[in-house]
Amino acid sequence: MSRRALLKQHQALLCLGTAVGSVPLRSIATHRLPPRADEASLYVHWPYCLKRCSYCNFNKYIPRSQNHAVMTECLQKETQTLLQLSQVSRISSVFFGGGTPSLAQPSTIAAVLETVSKNAHLSDDAEVTLEVNPTPAGKASLKDFMLAGVNRFSIGIQSLNDDHLRILRRDHNSQHALQTVSEARTLCPGRVSVDVMFALPGQSVKSWESELEKLLPVCDDHVSLYQLTLERGTQLYKQVESGELSVPGDDVTAVMYKSARRDLENAGFCQYEVSNFAKNNAVSEHNIGYWRGHQYIGVGPGAHGRFVPRAVGGAQREARTQTLEPDVWIREVQHHGHGTRRRIQLDHRGLLEEVLVMGLRMNEGITQQHWELFSPEADLKLIFGMSENFQELQVGGLLILDDRGLRCSWEGLALLDSILPTMLLELEMFFQSKGYQEDAQHLRNTDIQRDR
């Protein structure tokens, strides 16, 4: 996997890279199953939205019409195929994301959960999250989603400033956002999260702080804060390029992040990941699974997964991506039972890179025991402890390596993007110094036939 791709993945929890197949000289992980091979979480992607927000480059489509029956059938079929392929016996959590999954019918959500229960154990109290757009148009009631099996809502309010919401081309206003949060809190107290973005066009530190002041008293026990990324090809990117709009510079953005962390802390929220804050330990179990390197199965157009295909004799974890375009994906699922477009076997280094990049996002970092599950041969101190570059980061107060494990300091968490390239390079140098060769294989599309 290229370092750039991995860093991109760290930012968006998406994307994967590649590695070249070669005959292993000395491989330290071939044919060893990663931990918890019989358990995974499930991500289900609903690819449709009502309209295109100006900043968004997620895999979403604005359909002229939607055939809910066909989508339901295909999501069920692909869920069944991939669950059987992985041979997991337990699904620990389910996340319906998008796109706008709150545009799906509750019966679709119920049908997918039923398929999960028929093919694996899904406990009654397993976390089942639905991403909700607070738009009044087109969505079923939150209560009906709960009756379908959802027990956690993640609401994309993005901002409580109507001018910003217009610039972002959202189809809701601040009133809609507040109403949706209040309704969700009544239905699901303690299990409601809100997504908020900062570093928006024209936003000042002062206006951001006053927005947070409005938000904190009304939100529930979980907040996700995302710094706006200007994505190439989006309308907002063009508006900023042309000078029509301007976004705050890096120094202002850093102050915004810092002040938000402080305000959230003062309001009783504990930061447990770069962008995530929880009160009363209402953390997202599903996302923690990603950051702790657990297996996950991705279903739906463009979904990503990481699991061992044990039913076909697989012994190594694969990074999988489903076909992006919904109509093509539907045809593939109808013909082959799944729409997997790309599979890459993760070699030992690839797996450790993911554990490192994901683990350092969390406050707790990577514990010695956790690292050992993936790397029994070489502990954190052996790999990073002697490196001068690492020691510089440690002396600079950004990273901590002790008997507990490896983690960022409070300051380090804010600078993770600049720390990771150094850490990945150190890991690569360790592998080179030991003469380990990559044993990854990039499975071409034709190889996917083996699953069918």
Binding site for ligand SF4 (CB under 6 A): 49, 52-53, 56, 58, 60, 98-100, 133, 156
Among 43, 55, 290, 329, binds ligand SAM (CB under 6 A): 55
Among 5, 14, 15, 58, binds ligand SAM (CB under 6 A): 58
**Cβ contact 439:348 at 8 Å:** yes
| Strands across the sheet containing 405-408 | 366-367, 405-408, 399-401
Among 105, 115, 158, 437, binds ligand SAM (CB under 6 A): 158
156 binds ligand SAM (CB under 6 A): yes
Q: Does an H or E element contain 255, and which?
A: helix 250-266
108 binds, among ligand SF4, ligand SAM, none (CB under 5 to 8 A by kind): none
Minimum Å gap between C-beta 278 and ligand SAM is 17
Minimum Å gap between C-beta 116 and ligand SAM is 21
Binding to ligand SAM by CB under 6 A, coded x per residue (else -) over 199-238, reads ---------------------------x-xx-x-------
Minimum Å gap between C-beta 77 and ligand SAM is 24
Q: How big is the chain by its Cα radius of gyration, in Å?
A: 22
> Which among 193, 252, 249 has a CA at the least distance from the CA of 225?
193
What distance in Å separates the CA atoms of residue 449 and residue 327, rounded to the nearest whole number? 20
123 Cβ contact list (under 8 Å, min separation 6): 90
Residue labelled with tokens 């119920």 = 110
447 binds, among ligand SF4, ligand SAM, none (CB under 5 to 8 A by kind): none
324 binds ligand SAM (CB under 6 A): no
248 binds ligand SAM (CB under 6 A): no
Residue labelled with tokens 């189809």 = 171
217 Cβ contact list (under 8 Å, min separation 6): none
Span from 92-100, 237-245, 382-390, 416-424 in contact with ligand SAM (CB under 6 A):
92-100
Q: Indicate the burial class of 258 (C-beta count within 10 angstroms; 0-12, 13-18, 19 or more).
A: middle
Q: Does an H or E element contain 13, and which?
A: none
Minimum Å gap between C-beta 307 and ligand SAM is 21
Nearer to ligand SF4, 61 or 114 (CB): 61
For 337-367, where are the alpha helices, taking DSSP H only?
348-359
Minimum Å gap between C-beta 344 and ligand SAM is 23
Minimum Å gap between C-beta 135 and ligand SF4 is 8
How many other CB atoms are found less than 10 A from the CB of residue 174? 21
What distance in Å separates the CA atoms of residue 46 and residue 303, rounded to the nearest whole number? 9
Task: Give the interface with ligand SAM as residue ranges (CB under 6 A).
Answer: 55-56, 58, 97-98, 100, 131, 133, 156, 158, 195, 197, 226, 228-229, 231
